[in-house]
Amino acid sequence: MGASLNVSPTIEADPTKRALGWAPMSTAGAVRAGSERRDEILAIAADLFAERGFNATTVREIADAAGILSGSLYHHFDSKESMVEELLRSFMNDVTSAYRKEVASHDDPVAVLRRLVRIALVSIGTRWATVAVMVNEYNLLVSYPRFAFVAEQSEEPEELWVSVLERGIETGASPPIWTRGWCTASCATPSG
């Protein structure tokens, strides 16, 4: 037996596309292209949810902004609720994971606090629309069982910040902002 080649199967373009010069695409390329398109649609949905509100934004408006038919949107997502859920879960998981990593470093509490602030600001800056949806739609979303995770996952980031502040108090580190009141005011959850 000869050595077998590990070749990705390809998706052949239909005859019209072949006539126009479209090349076959590997299935891995198709998945990647589909994933990139899905991410684009999510970003468009986040912008619309942030601008118009979750309830006021329709699937048709998302599809129109994405340049596809509304029925085609269902190839990627089964509902606008699925879109907002994916946006929020992804954001909350990414930020919480980054916070955990910094807190676990056991570095100087002042240095950790600075890195937590940087993570928070970068996250807000790069994913502002998702943050706007989470803050503006918090009370609406948590009223649905599907979005209970938003309230539940909001607790751990505050606990991580508080642990750093408490470590700062215990070690007598500077700056003298090590009070729980500061954290509560600065790290307030969207529900207040």
The two three-digit tokens of residue 139, written as one number: 């009370």
For 83, the enclosing helix (H) or strand (E) is helix 80-104
- Report the pLDDT averaged over residues 58-62: 95
Quote the percentage of the chain above a pLDDT of 70: 72
d(CA 38, CA 20): 26
**Whether CATH 3.30.460.80 fits 11-186:** no
pTM comes to 0.72
Q: What is the pLDDT of residue 103?
A: 95
Q: What is the pLDDT of residue 174?
A: 64
CA neighbor of 63 nearest in space, from 52, 50, 76 = 76
pLDDT in tens, 80-116: 999 999 999 999 999 999 999 999 998 889 899 999 9
Quote the percentage of the chain above a pLDDT of 90: 58
Alpha carbon of residue 25 to chain centroid = 29
For residue 189, the one-letter residue type is T
pLDDT in tens, 112-168: 999 999 999 999 999 999 999 999 999 999 999 999 999 999 999 999 999 998 888
- Report the pLDDT averaged over residues 11-28: 44
Residue with tokens 């943050």: 131
Residue 138, C-beta contacts closer than 8 angstroms, at least 6 positions apart = 150, 189, 190, 191
